[in-house]
Structure 1
């Protein structure tokens, strides 16, 4: 009498383990890329917040800027718009681009470098990770009254 074999052979088990292992490695690589791009989205969000903060910091000094013709692209003025040193090392607020025909129209650009998205084998990084925010400030009406300080801006 011949006995019937139940179960799988060692070769079948090894082949199925190899296929399962390759599939899991592929899933792990996909998950790693997904995490890299999620972190890049986080950088994008932080850059948007930093750009919006710079717009609001300029808004506070808008009267002074408009009445005294302050150069908003100067290094001294840009230092007032930049964030705390803790995030300034990774996110760079570029010089403000002022529209030549209307000085109240400006573009704020924040950039960052995500070196993890460099393709293997490449030595340089040529993807522009940056956010540009366009803003238009209103022209403030400065009344000529005795309550107006020397520079033309009323202190609240």
Structure 2
């Protein structure tokens, strides 16, 4: 009886190992891409929140004016301010802004819209809705 000693890996074992490693690396790349997408979406929501808070500050300032602006004028002013990118201010792609007031109350609903076109999302519209009650000073 002649027994052969096994020396090293066979070609099939090397191929299977290579396939498993390649599959793992692909999974890690997909995970990294999803992480980037989520971080960018969170960044855009943060900018939308800052825009909404800026509109709230403008509403408060408008209440103190002798001749207050209309909601449409405030909306136009705020939108123009945030569509410009001077002074390194960050904005959102396809930015849209709506300010609505519930009739007879001091409740304002601020809606910030933007297009989510990064990472192949096919311009999925994103929206941030913020509601605030402004109470008049006595």
Question: Does the TM-score normalized on the shorter chain lie above 0.5?
Answer: yes
Match of 2:133 in 1: 136
Give the TM-score, by structure 2 length.
0.79
Check if 1:92 corresponds to 2:95: yes
C-alpha distance in structure 1 between counterparts of 2:60 and 2:12, whole Å: 72
* Structure 1 residues 105 and 71: CA distance shift in structure 2, 3 A: same
Give how far 1:68 is off. 4.0
Give the structure with the higher percent strand: 2
CA contact (8 A) 2:44 2:92 kept: no
Q: As a proportion of its length, which structure holds more helix?
A: 2
Structure of larger gyration radius? 1
Aligned length: 131
Out of 85, 101, 105, the residue aligned to residue 104 of structure 2 is 101
Cross-structure match for 1:9: 10
Unmatched runs of 5 consecutive residues or more in structure 1: 142-156
Q: Return structure 1 stretches of 4+ with deviation > 6 angstroms.
A: none
Using structure 1 for the length normalisation, give the TM-score. 0.71
Unaligned runs of 5+ in 2: none
